[in-house]
Chains A and B, each alone.
Chain A
């Protein structure tokens, strides 16, 4: 470093100590900031649309499920029965009828409720009374999880079976979105 520059810098520092001079920016710093800022702005202009494009699924409004007519109320017994119904599914550019099913029964309290057949352990499909070791229980063939008629988890599974939102209109049962089991904890 040249002597003159050192001298000027020490002068500059003295000013700073007195507090009556602003810290000056060097030409190199100014260029670094302006060029860096412009580059960042342009790179952002190119990158941000792509990132927003990629994260679109997260920001999409989820369609609140509508209720689907499933079965007559009069067909429901104390014994759980499986009923299947179709859900119109729009998956990006692919539309399809997804087949869903529910176990619907009357509880001890006489109320009708519908359980999801998806095991809360790892997502296999359970069945009612499908294993002779577990009479009158829901049993999952994958890892042996089993549940009471109300969907209470007895083994393996960490949570009770999910329940469908339900409404009854004009003697028909309509099922909606899946919610946490309201009958057991």
Chain B
């Protein structure tokens, strides 16, 4: 049945070469944990992506209940957490996944660093990777405010003071991020927009570049 549908589409659109090009590639021995167990360090990049997918999915589902408004934000989070079935699980996935992404990304960076994989001709991929790191930190910072509880509010206050301390442009950056002169209603809706639209869009574009380059250049050789 599934095969029949696949063949029907393939006859018309010739999709086999497309996915072959994406999925069918050799995994060299030195990155295969089945050959050398220590090669598991090469999994951290993939794990980062796996958790990112979980973050995107759980985040999409959370927005079914969450509202980015200072009156209702906390109440909506409390509602989805306590009244909706599996609310604790779905929000828990997003909460713990957020930290885990950073951990995995850090381990991935260490692996790339200590295997010297950033060296020519892969310098551009290192740069894109660092940009991904910044976008991820941005996602963490903006997401932290959304429950609109005390921790969220004061963490954002601190973040704003840090932005403010930048020479010359600091006060302007702070006001731009806040969307006003205080951390308030406009900050919350601004952070929500950044968290669910702007930063994920940037992240997906950067990930596309990251994956394109690794497929084009291949995994760096053994030590």
Interface residues of A (CB under 8 A from B): 46-47, 49-50, 52-54, 56, 59, 92-94
Given A46-B57, A59-B85, are A53 and B76 neighbors across the interface (CB < 8 Å)? no
Given A46-B54, A52-B86, are A93 and B61 neighbors across the interface (CB < 8 Å)? no
Interface string of B67-99 (1 = CB under 8 A from A): 000001001101110011111011001000000
B65 within 8 A of A: yes
| Chain A residues positioned under 8 Å from B79 (CB to CB) | 92-93
Partner of A49, one of B65, B76, B80, B89: B89
Return the chain A residue nearest B78 by Cβ.
Answer: A93
- 17 interchain pairs, CB-CB under 8 A: A46-B93, A47-B57, A49-B86, A49-B93, A50-B57, A50-B58, A53-B84, A53-B86, A54-B61, A54-B64, A56-B85, A56-B86, A59-B85, A92-B65, A93-B72, A93-B78, A93-B79
Alpha-carbon separation in the docked complex, A50 to B65 (Å): 12
| Whole-angstrom distance between the Cβ of B216 and the nearest chain A Cβ | 27
| Chain A residues positioned under 8 Å from B76 (CB to CB) | 92-93
Given contacts A50-B90, A93-B75, 19 further A-B contacts (CB under 8 A): A46-B54, A47-B57, A49-B89, A49-B90, A49-B93, A50-B58, A52-B85, A53-B84, A53-B86, A53-B87, A54-B61, A59-B85, A92-B76, A92-B79, A93-B76, A93-B78, A93-B79, A94-B72, A94-B75
Alpha-carbon separation in the docked complex, A46 to B97 (Å): 12
Return the chain B residue nearest A55 by Cβ.
Answer: B85
Give the interface size bracket for B toward A.
20 to 34
Q: Which of A46, A53, A56 is the most central at the interface, judged by chain B CB atoms within 10 Å of its CB? A: A53
Alpha-carbon separation in the docked complex, A44 to B107 (Å): 27
Return the chain B residue nearest A48 by Cβ.
Answer: B86
Return the chain A residue nearest B90 by Cβ.
Answer: A53
| Chain B residues positioned under 8 Å from A54 (CB to CB) | 61, 64
7 closest residue pairs by CB, A with B:
A93-B75, A49-B86, A93-B79, A49-B89, A50-B61, A53-B86, A53-B90
Return the chain B residue nearest A59 by Cβ.
Answer: B85
| Chain A residues positioned under 8 Å from B89 (CB to CB) | 49, 53
| Chain A residues positioned under 8 Å from B61 (CB to CB) | 50, 53-54
Alpha-carbon separation in the docked complex, A56 to B64 (Å): 11
Interface string of B35-70 (1 = CB under 8 A from A): 000000000000000000010011001001100000
Alpha-carbon separation in the docked complex, A92 to B73 (Å): 12
| Chain B residues positioned under 8 Å from A52 (CB to CB) | 85-86
| Whole-angstrom distance between the Cβ of A97 and the nearest chain B Cβ | 17
Alpha-carbon separation in the docked complex, A92 to B80 (Å): 9
Alpha-carbon separation in the docked complex, A50 to B63 (Å): 12
| Chain B residues positioned under 8 Å from A94 (CB to CB) | 72, 75
Alpha-carbon separation in the docked complex, A52 to B84 (Å): 9
